[in-house]
Every structure is written in structure tokens, then in C-alpha cells.
A and B are shown apart, each in its own frame.
Chain A
Amino acid sequence: MPADHIAQLLIEADASAISVPVRCTGAWTVRGIAALERQLAQMDWPAASDLVFDGSAISALDTAGAWLLHRTLHALQQRGKNVQVNGLRPEFDTLLQLVASRSAHAEPVLPARVGLLENIGRRAWRNLWSLSDMLAFVGESATVLLRSLMQPSRIRWRAILYNLQTAGFEAMPIIGLLTFLMGVVIAYQGADQLQRFGANIFIVELVGLSMVRELAPLLTAIIIAGRSGSAYAAQIGTMKITEEIDALRTIGVGSQELLVLPKLLALVIALPLLTVFADVTGIFGGMIMASSKLDVSFNTFINRLDEAVSLSSFLVGIVKAPVFAAIIALVGCFQGFQVSGSADSVGRQTTVSVVQSIFLVILADALFSIVFNWFEL
């Protein structure tokens, strides 16, 4: 940077004089004062009681520069010195006056620090509230659902169909591909072990039962939680920030009825269907592996499948799907409504919605296992 663009401060004459002239030069601007600021922080001011600042050589002054000058003068006055500024251009003088007049208001306000204990307390309190909010939300959704079921004309079929398409139909390729691969992997892993015992044909039980009872519903739910649950949270969260939710309320349209119910119903319909689809593609994956590694032909496989997988096993898998769907839809929507204020918050609640819904889905799956075990299904 050329010297002209840098703010400088030169103390002239000998330090013993009573009145010491201080010459300010260069551009006192936000870009020019960085070096000067560091210099000023450890400046040795002369002992003289009078300091006369000469501002005639200041080539440019902006608010940051004026502030630095004002701050320096103020600090010197505090130390009992007489300071005087001469030769400033009139417009610079006005600026300095302006900055000085505002300086009373311009004390930086530091945010209050929060202690560790207070932090823990606040978090616990917030989580507790969030839990009760969640329960309230589930309850509200249930009443809205009941009211709509009693008056089917109030159900927004178009929105349900739209959600069926985006959350259900459009998820088919990814779900098909992933469960197919999962079927391949299970058959591949099992093939070695089964071959060792000469129990090749049991590949049908292995793939069929694990797919139908556990993997297909779980995998489908997890994919949908990541794909649609997050989308619900982000959509509702953004609408909350742009006050669209408030607008809906003032128009007299229930946000639950318009935003939550169609998603919930669509997902409850779509997830069991997707699970059936996942059963098919998963078993197909295992079937291909079985015929190439274990010499179990498609025909044998399908004939055996009929005996291996009972209807109850199939239903055990399918029954779980609507429950998973309700968890995903409710958690996603609830977290969307929890968004407040900032774009940051949308991201945070979206993350929470995915983490929570996957956690709850797996938890529910474990509970289902216990319950089915009781009934010996």
C-alpha cells in the first residue's frame, strides 16, 4: 500500500516541551488504520500536558478513522491532558463531531455469559418442554385426524395424492435398488456357511424371512425418514420463518389439517406398499445370488418360498410399516413446527427430525419384536 493510503501519527519536537504538536497524515479510513491501531495500543505519549493534533494532512477520513481519532483523544483527556485538534477539513470536522456525539451510545454490549450449570438446566428444561410439546402435537394430530375421518369431505385428497406420489412413488427406484442390493449381500454372506453344511436350499429361509420380517420394513422406513421426514421438517420450518403458518391461521385454515394430515395419511398408505415392493426386490436379489452361487434355480427358490415364508411372517413385516410411517410423518412435521427465527434453526430441526425418527423407528421395531414374541408369531 502506498504511504498516502496509510494513516500515520507523528509526534514532533522534543518530548520536554509543554505543548507538543502531533501530526496526523494519510488516509484515516477503515483500510488505512490497521497498522496505526496497533501502534497506538502501545504508544508512549510525551509527558507534556498539552497535545496539539494537526489534522491538515489527513487525506481521507471515514467513520472508522474518525472513531479511532476520537477514541485516542478521549483516552488522552482521561489521562488529564489537554488535547486540541487543528486544521481538519470542515467536512472531516463535521464527521468527527458526529462520531463524538454518537459515542455515548456506542458502547459495545457484550452478550451475557451462560455458566455450565445454567446451561445444563436450560437444556434439560427445554428438552422437557419439547417432550410435552411433542405429546401435545401427537394428540392434536389425532383429534384432527378423527374429526376429518368423521367428515371425509374435509380430507384434502389432492394433497394426499400429491404426497403419495412424491413420498411414495418417487421413492421406488432408490428403495428397489437398496433392498435388491441388501438381498444380494445377505445371500452372498449366507452362501458360504450354508454350502459348508450342504444346506443350500435353506438360503430361501434366510433371505425370505430376514427380508420379509425385518429388513424390508426397517430399510424402507429409514430411507423414507431420510428422504421425506427431512423434507417435511424443512418445508414446514421454512413456512414458519416466512410466517406462512401464521398466515394460514389468520385465514382460518388449520395448519395441521392442511400440512400434517395429508402427509401422515399419504405416508401411512405408502409405506406398507413400499415395504411389499421392498420384499419383492430384496428376495429377487437373494434369488439371483442363490442361483449363481448355490445352484438353487429360480423355480426351486419360488416353490420353496411358499413353504418357508408363512403368511403371518409376511404380515408381521407389513403391520409395522404404518406405525413407522406415523412416526416419520409426525416427527418430521413436529420438528418443522419447532423451527424459530433463523435459517440455522431450519437445518438444526431437520437434522433432529431425521435422527429422532430413525431412532424411534428402530425402538418401535424392537418393541414389535418383543410383542410378536409374546404372541409367538
Chain B
Amino acid sequence: METSATASAVVDIRELHTRYGMAVVHKNVSLTVQPGEVFALVGGSGCGKSTLLRAVIMLLRPVSGSIRVFGREVIGLNDEQALPLRRRWGVMFERGALFSSLTVAENVAMVLREHTRLSAGLIDEVVALKIALTGLPADAGSKYPSELSGGMRKRAALARALALDPELLFLDEPTAGLDPLSASGIDELVRNLRDTLGLTIMLVTHDLDLLWRAADRVAVLDGGHILGVGSMAELSQMEHPAIREYFYGPRGRAAREQAWKKK
């Protein structure tokens, strides 16, 4: 947290080109994520939001361009060089990606066991705290991922992403597939985490409610380009047809009205 307080951006993407097989996914994408903000990537299905996220967390190697995280170039790093960076961020995958043969508590504890020298007793307590922080009931810790509902699985995945108290959190579709109540629980959780732990959060989502409630800045991706970046209020004023379609479609309007009512 203390290092992210420096003036430079936490994530700095410049002129990024990526390809998935033969298909070009991103052409000349540049954007920055500032410390302490909740930054969202939005766009239609298949526009490369998740691919961009995968490039930043070093699961996909871009064709050209530069990605700096905490001021360090991540493209071309080997696993050993990447480790110090990877310990500073947490990733929550779209479908949770919890280790299915471990209980929820073991899933979270595994990260702590691998990367810290804390005693087993303290690890158990910290794990229980993380599970409680994400709003799961205490007995969820001893369950296996297959015994959890979709919403609980998301929360468990979040607990694992938070295990090392990362400075930067990547969330891929944190609310996809959740009922509205669980989803708004996640909205609140995201905001809470940012406020209390001072996290920087970069997330990919389709969820307009989440965007209105939690995102500080939003980048709209379409056809491999960034159409616009700004707060939701700014974006909703933009004239670009694709953006207007996104925000003024029936669901977009409803979410916007909801957001205004809240304010």
C-alpha cells in the first residue's frame, strides 16, 4: 500500500497489440490505472476485455507494446522474475478457479503457506478472517468448492485473491452469474476493500449496476480499440454510437436511473 502511493500509475499499458491464435484482439490499446482507484473494463462479449486482463497478469504474451505494473515492465519476464510482482497482486477468475480438491480454507491457506513464514495457527486465523471479510459464513471454510453455490464460490475465490493482502486486485466478471442480492453484496465488498485496505482494483465486467456503484473510471473496449475512458457520468455523455448503445440500451438506462436514485 505504501509503495502504491507514489505518483506513477499502478498499471500502465501502452500501444498494446495482442493476438489470440490468428485473430487480432487488441490494436494499439493504451490506458493507465491510478493508485487507489476502481478501474473497470467494459464492452460486448468477445471484445477482448478478459484477454487484456490476461495480458496484464502475464498469462498471455502480447505481440508488441508495453505493460508496466508497479512501474515494472511485465512483458518478457520469466516466472522467477515475475514472482515478486505476482505476490503483490491478487487475481479472481471468472469461474472462481478454486482448487477443487482442497477445501475453501485450504485454498486460501495454500497461498499463505507458499509465500509467508507465519505459523500454522496464525495462518488458520488469518484464513478464517479473510473468509469472514468476504462475507462467507464461518462453516464455509471446511467445505469443498463443489459444495458451494455460485455466489459463495465467487466470495471464496475473492478470499483467496486477498490472501496475501495484495496492493492490486484483478477481478474477472466478479458479479457474473450471481443473483442481484449477491451481486450488490459484491459491489459493496469491492468499494469496502478499496476504502479500508486502500486497494487498487482493475475489473472486467458486464454488470452496469456494479459500474455505477463501484467503478471510479471505466474504459469501453470495442473491436480491439478503446472507445472512451472516464467516469460513468462522463461516459454516459459521450456521443460515440457504440457507447450510447451500451449505456442507453434498456438495461443501461435502468441501471443509470437506479444509480441516480441512490445518490
For chain A, the bracket of interface size reads: 35 or more
Asked whether B40 is an interface residue with its Cβ less than 8 Å from the other chain, the reply is: no
Chain A, range 335-373, C-beta contacts under 8 Å to B:
340-345
Output the least CB separation between B85 and chain A (Å).
14
Among residues of A, the one whose C-beta sits closest to the C-beta of B101 is A344
Q: Which of B101, B137, B142 touches A105 (beta carbons < 8 Å)?
A: B137
Residues of A within 8 A of B124 (CB): 108
Interchain CA distance A290-B11 in the complex, whole Å: 74
Contact indicator per residue, chain A 31-75, by CB within 8 Å of chain B (1) or not (0): 101100110010000000000000000011011100110010000
Residues of A within 8 A of B257 (CB): none
Complex CA–CA separation, A133 to B100 (angstroms): 24
Docked-complex contact B129 and A102, CB < 8 angstroms: yes
B103 in contact (CB, < 8 A):
yes
The CA-CA distance from A157 to B117 in the complex, in Å, is: 59
B128 at the interface (CB under 8 A from A): yes
Q: What 0/1 pattern do residues 122 to 139 of B give for CB contact below 8 A with A?
A: 101111111111000111
Contact B2 A105 (CB under 8 A): no
Residues B153-168 near A (CB distance < 8 A):
162, 164-165
A245 to chain B, nearest CB (A): 14
Asked if B197 is at the interface (CB within 8 A of a chain A CB), the reply is yes
- Beta-carbon contact of A62 and B128 below 8 Å: no
Between A94, A109, A342, the greatest number of chain B beta carbons within 10 A of the residue's beta carbon is seen for A109
Tell me how far the C-beta of A241 lies from the nearest C-beta in chain B, rounded to whole angstroms.
8
In the assembled complex, A269 has its CB within 8 A of some CB on chain B: no
> Taking the complex as formed, is B43 at the interface, i.e. its CB lies under 8 A from any CB of chain A?
no
Known: A67-B126, A99-B129, A341-B144. A107 touches B165 (CB 8 A): no
CB contact between A342 and one of B122, B146, B164 (< 8 Å): that residue: B146
Determine if B141 is an interface residue (Cβ-Cβ < 8 Å).
Answer: yes
If A64-B118, A64-B126, A341-B100 touch, whether A106 touches B197 (CB-CB below 8 Å) is no
B116 at the A interface (CB under 8 A): yes
A62 to B146, CA, bound (A): 30
Residues from chain A with Cβ under 8 Å of B125 in the complex: 67, 71, 106, 108
The reply to whether B101 and A34 contact each other, CB–CB distance below 8 Å, is: no
Complex CA–CA separation, A226 to B133 (angstroms): 47
Interface string of A92-113 (1 = CB under 8 A from B): 0011001100110111111100
Q: What's the minimum C-beta distance from B35 to chain A, rounded to whole angstroms? A: 14
A99 CA to B165 CA in the complex, in Å?
13
- Asked whether A340 lies within 8 Å of B146 as measured between CB atoms, the reply is yes
Q: A64: which B residues are within 8 A, CB to CB?
A: 118, 122, 126, 165
A30 and B196 within 8 A (CB): no
For A109, give its contact among B117, B128, B165 (CB under 8 Å). B128
Q: Which residues of chain A are within 8 angstroms of B100 by Cβ–Cβ distance? A: 241, 341-345
The chain A residues found within 8 Å of chain B, CB to CB, are 27, 29-31, 33-34, 37-38, 41, 59-60, 62-64, 67-68, 71, 91, 94-95, 98-99, 102-103, 105-111, 241, 340-345
**11 A–B contacts, CB within 8 A, in A order:** A30-B126, A37-B118, A38-B119, A63-B133, A67-B122, A91-B196, A105-B137, A105-B138, A106-B129, A241-B100, A341-B147
